[in-house]
A and B are shown apart, each in its own frame.
Chain A
């Protein structure tokens, strides 16, 4: 580990420690905002693990989130909560593997379209299954989970996501994904099985979404397909990640915090305009902040050193031209 990396690790640890103290200071409104921020951090960062390097916009977060939540809600009477959370990971990963193998070989655009309707598809199937089995569509989740516990669990989960993201970044898999994101033809000719690499990341990313859904299930005492499979969730996660910047591990976090706060504001004061806000956010990002906050920041840094770099580049070109 380089000195810079050690510094980064210490800073990250400090940030997590400070964040962990929130429940000691506030047990009400700000804690529940904290829970939301922690939850979206997990979702947006794990989304970026896949969609960042590959540039495949996955709109399926809500599908896996809902599966995790529904698994817990449906089987809480038969199995203990931790077991169900684990099952959510397994089921989510398996489902993601099937979808990934089927659709990631084909094309980025078709994949995006497919994930767009996936949430709705799963919702329809779940509702139909319940209808067929004669159970009511709403399920009661009666397990007590206080906000502080949920907050610490989500915080720990986001630490895990960051750790995995960091590990992947230094691994061969991470390198393979960067190459794929740059030029898939070169990746294939360099010996990379691009379909397999994409599937691995998609599975990891989706498993985290399922895990998160399972963890937060107790927050709602009554779960219905429309709640578990809310289409907005996928879009919010995408906006947050893009807003923050998908080319750095800590990028999405920079999008999660402002957007969550904004969303709270809008939902409280203009609840009918939430769709409009989503639309405006997407448009602003695409047209004005395509590389996210991280991108803006790094552009600023580069412009300061810009002139120096271009002189260096010219000198190097002149030298290597005479080799």
Chain B
């Protein structure tokens, strides 16, 4: 039972980084392999904030999110747009963006290593246990989950009930047609990319409340976000949320019942099964 609750709590917190990647890949069509590094930066930001100010790390969201937004906007304008302009087809853009964001991720890791060194960083906040159904759970996990749920709900509402959100969804379905109905696709993509980065960084802040971070952890998170997005269907937010829960549950189950060192293996098996059985994801539309 506690596997289920912990798994759900974990999955719910993963949902933010998955939604961030979904905005970047689904709308801006950039396969951002530096996604995990953005998350780590968000986490580091929270850790620094908490250690420096002793205030609740949740407040770190207030400065991490705008910073991440601005940084990702800049990345899109200066690094991704030249690739978009030069790519002759979607396939080439995907290859180029993979390599470029790859390079970016190493660059960021290098900087993080230089600034923070290679140590593991963590802090203790809200570590008191809370009883649910008689079992104790860490309050920080619950708080992170609630924070994630609030942000995800907000993002979902924005995507479905505002005009700007509608623009995003239009571009993710068909950028060509969106352009024809006078949507500025470039601007929408830049906005999506920046927003995606901000959301991911917020996820990093929340995850830092109960996970230990070091400069090199980005890749594992990128992989998890990718697996979630592909599992859920590249264009569907509900899919990403459900897939996040599935991943959280699977990881926790494997870590508890089999071996904590096999979490990535478990995620991979999920990934392979989805690719073989339903490559468009749970909620994706099959391309004919």
Contacts and interface: CB of A to CB of B under 8 A. Distances in A.
B107 A283 contact: yes
Given A113-B223, A286-B99, A124 B261 contact: yes
A279 B102 CA distance: 7
A273 B99 contact: no
A116 B223 CA distance: 8
Interface in A273-295: 273, 275-283, 285-287, 290
Interface stretch (B50-58, B244-252, B272-280): B272-280
A285 B99 contact: yes
A102 interface: yes
Interface residues of B, number: 40
B265 A124 contact: yes
A109 B265 contact: no
Interface string A98-116: 0000110011111011101
Interface stretch (B88-96, B122-130, B155-163): B88-96
A286 B102 CA distance: 10
B226 interface: yes
A149 B223 CA distance: 40
B179 interface: no
B261 A279 contact: no
B31 A109 contact: yes
A120 B106 contact: no
Interface stretch (B12-20, B65-73, B109-117): B109-117
B154 interface: no
B82 A108 contact: no
Contact of A279 (B31, B96, B110): B110
B98 interface: yes
Interface stretch (A125-133, A152-160, A303-311): A125-133
B275 A278 contact: no
A127 B272 CA distance: 21
A158 B76 CA distance: 41
Contacts of B109: 275-276, 279
A127 B100 contact: no
B47 interface: no
A13 B261 CA distance: 48
A237 to B, nearest CB: 13
Most buried by B among A242, A277, A278: A278
Contacts of A283: 100, 103-104, 107
Contact of B94 (A109, A125, A276, A278): A109
B105 A279 contact: yes
A125 B262 contact: yes
A28 B140 CA distance: 56
A82 interface: no
A128 B259 contact: yes
B259 A112 contact: no
A117 B94 CA distance: 18
Interface string B255-288: 0000101101100100110011001000000000
A246 to B, nearest CB: 11
B98 A109 contact: yes
A110 B96 contact: no
Contacts of A106: 275, 279
B218 to A, nearest CB: 11
A57 interface: yes
A15 interface: no
B98 A273 contact: no
Given A103-B275, A287-B82, A110 B107 contact: no
B106 A282 contact: yes
A121 B261 contact: no
11 contacts: A57-B98, A102-B275, A102-B276, A114-B275, A116-B33, A117-B268, A128-B265, A279-B108, A281-B103, A285-B99, A285-B103
